[in-house]
Each structure stands twice: as structure tokens, then as C-alpha cells.
A and B are shown apart, each in its own frame.
Chain A
């Protein structure tokens, strides 16, 4: 069964550094999402993306965050200047249609030191 792939599985970065989290959605999917889960807490919506633009974003998704689909297969989340509180598990998800269930990747654990 096709799946959403996220790399790396774990990334450690220093405060203030830029980090790019990478995702390869399922190939025929058109709707892409990023979610975040701070350790021990609930999963939170960050942003949805369709047709090369952001459809919706949460209050968490401030100017430090950006998303991009640089080619036909990758979907990236960039954090420009990481803070300690950005440490979390970041999940990418995709769907073929906005009414279809999301397919989540296995997540990237980001640790900011």
C-alpha cells in the first residue's frame, strides 16, 4: 500500500538554525498537510496546502514557518529560526480529495537544543 514518507526520522538542531523537514506524499494525492505534536500533548494542525498555495493555517503557523512543494514529489516544512519550543514530532499527511481521510507519515522528531 502506498505511504507517506518523511525524512529524517529524527533531526537535532541548534536554536536559531533553519531546518527543513521533508515529506513525500502519496503520488496521486493533491492535498497536503503538516501537523505538530509536542511531546506528551495532542496533535495540532499547522497548515494545509493545495494547488501550490496555502489553503488554511493555524495560529501556530507564524512567519517562522513556510511550506513548499519544490517539485512534483516533495512537500517541505521550513522553520526559519528554530526555538526551543519548536521541539516536537512533525507529521506530514496527504489526501487525494479534501473529503477523503488523511494518510499520515511516520513523523520527524525535531529536537532543538
Chain B
């Protein structure tokens, strides 16, 4: 069965610090997708990134970067020079095989960025 673990329940940083959110996943499928979502205090789910299991290239988007390592089953997310607006709950998620729309979410990491 698939599983996503976000071991960090809460992280607190000061503005401009870099922060890395960890995500470890378990799956028996060789074909799967990994996701990151942001949930701000207003409650909606904001899509950040999707990665398929065959693409281990790291990705950078502005201050955001993602490190996908199949060898350690990890898909970590780094925010560089954090800002107060980055404060939110961040969820890592996994979908397998032909059930691409069935996402298994991690427990989430609450990130608080202090001014």
C-alpha cells in the first residue's frame, strides 16, 4: 500500500532563512506521481508541483526547489529566502499506477515564517 510520511509536524523560521520540508514515500509501483500542495490559512489547496517517477531531475521555480531521489524514496521541498507569505501547511502526496487521481497525502508540515 502506498504511504507518504512528512516527519516534520511544525517548522518555524525567521524571514529570509532557507527551509527544507521533508517527504518520504512508499509504493510498490514503478510508475507513480509525486506532488506538493500548499494550504494557506484560507484553506484552499494550491498545487505547487507534480513529478513522475521516471524524471529524477531536480526542479527550481523561483524561490522553490524540489529534490527527488528514488534511491531514498524522498521528494524534498526547499524554500529559499522564506517570506511571511510562505506561512502555510504544506502537503506532499503520491498517486500510483492507473489511479492517478487518487492521491495519498502526507500529514502535512506547518510552516511559520516570522518577520
Contacts and interface: CB of A to CB of B under 8 A. Distances in A.
Interface of A: 31, 33, 35, 41-45, 48, 56, 89, 91, 93, 95, 98-107, 109
Main secondary structure of the interface of B (DSSP, over half): strand
24 contacts: A31-B101, A35-B103, A42-B91, A43-B91, A43-B93, A43-B103, A43-B105, A45-B103, A48-B102, A56-B102, A89-B43, A91-B45, A93-B101, A98-B101, A99-B100, A100-B100, A103-B47, A104-B44, A104-B47, A106-B43, A106-B44, A107-B43, A107-B44, A107-B45
A101 B35 CA distance: 9
Nearest to B92: A42
B104 interface: yes
A46 to B, nearest CB: 10
Interface of B: 35, 37, 42-45, 47, 50, 91, 93, 98-108
A45 B43 contact: no
Contact of A98 (B37, B45, B100, B105): B100
Contact of B107 (A42, A89, A102): A42
A105 B42 CA distance: 12
B101 A102 contact: yes
B102 A42 contact: no
